[in-house]
Amino acid sequence: MRFSGKTVVVTGAASGIGAETARLFAREGAVVFAADIDGAGVERLVSEGAGDIRFQQCDVCSTDDIKALMDRAAAETGGIDVVFNNAGAGGARAKIHEIEPDEWDRTMDLLLRSVAFGIRYAVPHMIGRQGAAIVNTASVAATGSGYSPTAYAVAKCGVLHLSKVAAADLAQFGIRVNAILPGFINTNIFTASLEVPDDTKAIAKAMIAQASANAQPVRRGGQPRDIAEACAYLASEAASFVNGTGLLVDGGLTIGQRPSW
Ligand code: NAD
């Protein structure tokens, strides 16, 4: 019960990584505010009865929605201890020489601006809370891998860097900020990323190869639970000296495999 008495906000909680993380925090005693645009998905999660999970409808592209989420969590419980800025989707697939301005903007709004304002509107409710921590979902795309679509990769690099500068900004309040860089995790986003137009089939094939159990050094595919556990660690007292960093949770994907010799 590492999070007994704590208030935790999770975005993108209707499925995948966010849902599993909300479950884990709730099982460990937290009051969890589970935010998503997919209300039905969060209602399913709530109905599992994993603990005190409260649904908040929230489009993370709307700063009004993000502010309402943070204000509600604080109003109902007295403050916020942990925020997991995690909501996302694949974003624009076009390459840099083809991308349109509105596709670029939509991807940045969903993946990067959402995290900036998730921090912005949570912090006033986190000041003075012992052990306050923010965790943001970046991606292995932030390491510079060529598999990810351009705008997605740039946005996730932004999330990693934002986590570092926010850690510097918020140290004065005792709030730690870190990012998680998931590898290929078995969720809706990952499967959707395999349904790509013909001209990007090569990328999809490479991703399948990378994600297959035998292609990764740990010899299994990544699961939402792997990221939930990493998030709980970064949010916990055990990580009180871990600040402004990006934790790769990719089964060794980015170190690659030894050749068979
Ligand atoms: P997922 O599709 O299962 O979950 C994403 C959730 O975000 C969904 O519940 C969706 O409804 C929600 N969402 C989408 N747009 C939203 C919006 N505008 N406002 C609020 N909620 C919104 O996929 P996932 O893999 O669990 O994704 C979680 C995060 O992990 C994302 O930020 C994604 O980029 C990141 N990530 C995933 C992988 C992977 O392989 N699955 C790898 C690296 C990073």
Q: What pLDDT, in 10s, does the model give residues 100-135?
A: 999 999 999 999 999 999 999 999 999 999 999 999
- Is residue 260 assigned to a domain? no
pLDDT for the residue 144: 80
Q: Would you call 233 a catalytic residue per the annotation? A: no
Stated pTM of the model: 0.95
- Is residue 261 assigned to a domain? no
Residue 199 scores a pLDDT above 60 = no
- Is residue 2 assigned to a domain? no
Q: How confident is the model at residue 196 (pLDDT cuts 50, 70, 90)?
A: low
Alpha carbon of 17 to ligand 1 centroid (Å): 7
Q: What ipTM is given for this predicted complex?
A: 0.99
Lowest-confidence segment of 17-26, 93-102, 117-126 by average pLDDT: 93-102
Alpha carbon of 223 to ligand 1 centroid (Å): 13
Residues above pLDDT 90, as percent of the chain: 77
Mean pLDDT of 158-169: 98
pLDDT for the residue 176: 99
- Is residue 208 assigned to a domain? yes
Over residues 241-255, the pLDDT tens digits come to 999 999 999 998 888
Instruction: Give the 3-state DSSP-derived string for the chain, with helices as H, strands as E and coil as C.
Output: CCCCCCEEEEECCCCHHHHHHHHHHHHCCCEEEEEECCHHHHHHHHHCCCCCEEEEECCCCCHHHHHHHHHHHHHHHCCCCEEEECCCCCCCCCCCCCCCHHHHHHHHHHHHHHHHHHHHHHHHHHCCCCCCEEEEECCHHHHCCCCCCHHHHHHHHHHHHHHHHHHHHHHHHCCEEEEEEECCECCHHHHHHHCCCHHHHHHHHHHHHHHCHHHCCCCCCECHHHHHHHHHHHHCHHHCCCCCCEEEECCCHHHCCCCCC
Amino acid at site 148: S
Residue 194 scores a pLDDT above 70 = no
Number of domains in the chain: 1
Pocket test for ligand 1, best of 15, 61, 152, 189 (most atoms within 8 A of CB): 189
- Is residue 249 assigned to a domain? yes
- Is residue 1 assigned to a domain? no
CATH at residue 206? 3.40.50.720
Structural domain boundaries enclosing 240: 7-254
Pocket test for ligand 1, best of 17, 115, 195 (most atoms within 8 A of CB): 17
Ligand 1, residues at Cβ distance < 6 Å: 11-12, 14-18, 36-38, 41, 58-61, 86-89, 110, 137, 139, 182, 184-185, 187-190
Q: Which of 55, 5, 65, 10 is nearest to 228 (CA)?
A: 10
Measured between alpha carbons, how far is residue 215 from residues 86, 93, 182, 257 in Å? 26, 24, 16, 8
Residues 6+ apart with CB under 8 A from 259: none
Which protein residue's CA is at the shortest distance from atom 10 of ligand 1? 12
